[in-house]
Amino acid sequence: MFRSVLRQPTGVVSLVILVAVGLLGVFGPLLAPYDPLAQDTSTLLAAPSAQHLLGTDDLGRDVLSRLLAGSPLSLLAAVEAVAVGLVLGVVPGLLSVLLGRTFEWVALRVMDSLMTLPFLVFAIAMSALLGNGLHQAMFAVGILVAPGFFRVTRAATLAHYTAPYVEAARLLGASTVWIVRTHLWSKIAPTIAVSTAGMLGAGLVIVSSLTFLGIGVQPPEPTWGGILATDLRFLYQRPYGPLIPGALIVLTVGAFNGLADALRDGARSAGQTVVRARVLPVAERTAHVR
């Protein structure tokens, strides 16, 4: 599946963008030309120049330095939210098929309840309860994206758990752990990978939205959403200000969605290859007998 992603133009472009964004997240603070928190009152809302390539904000802070320094927090927050949702969604989704009707009924009711909660209100409530920190906000977001992983995992598991070869393995005395490890996980992992890639893009949008509103971050901590909010407040003085942080968010989200599409197409290609590999020897033997 992953090899087929590299044969698709969309997959290659998405991976190149994500690698570049990942390097920006790792080395961004080291590449910042100025201290992202340093204020210079003599250059408030300055236009782009040789000294400040993207200009300065309302406090005289270098915008490029703040974007670079805010990259790790923005990206890691999205990864953290998706990781929480992955654990809280995939494990119950798998167990709801394996542990019988009682656990299935409880898991379905819990996930249905979580789907009714609005993201923003729940994140604000969790931040008020646990403190206005990014980890608290991302834990709340992870809880609310868990139903998506739950439904995908449950559907993929149900499609394969009732297959004849799984029934045969169970009748021959194979344990549930062995069946999951040998037969099920390799079948549902591509579906989970596609959902994870798409959810990372959605997670970045959610993180940017929360930080745009000042939820989960403490000023003057730089984040892409926070920088975008600052630029929009002074749109008359710097009409070009929101372009770069907005473009970073849009480009990264688009790359995640492109990777999800490439993974989905790769999973389909891998499935077709497996079918042909199983059918072809039968056809060859039939032709040989004739």
Per-residue pLDDT of 39-82, as tens digits, reads 988 888 888 998 999 999 988 999 999 999 999 988 998 999 99
Instruction: Determine the Cα–Cα distance for residues 124 and 132; give it in Å rounded to an integer.
Output: 8
Around 244, how many Cα atoms within 13 Å sit in the side-chain half-sphere? 20
85 neighbors 199 (Cβ within 8 angstroms): yes
State both tokens at 224.
């892409």
Q: What is the largest CA-CA distance in the chain?
A: 90
Query: Where does 54-280 sit in CATH, by number?
Result: 1.10.3720.10
Task: Give Cβ neighbours of residue 145 (< 8 Å, ≥ 6 apart).
Answer: 81, 82, 84, 85, 89, 199, 202, 203
Q: What is the pLDDT of residue 30?
A: 92
- pTM, rounded to two decimals: 0.84
Where the chain has pLDDT below 50, the residues are 272-290
Question: Which residue has tokens 């290859």?
Answer: 273
Q: What angle do CA 56, 79, 209 make, to 5 degrees?
A: 50
Task: Give Cβ neighbours of residue 6 (< 8 Å, ≥ 6 apart).
Answer: 12, 15
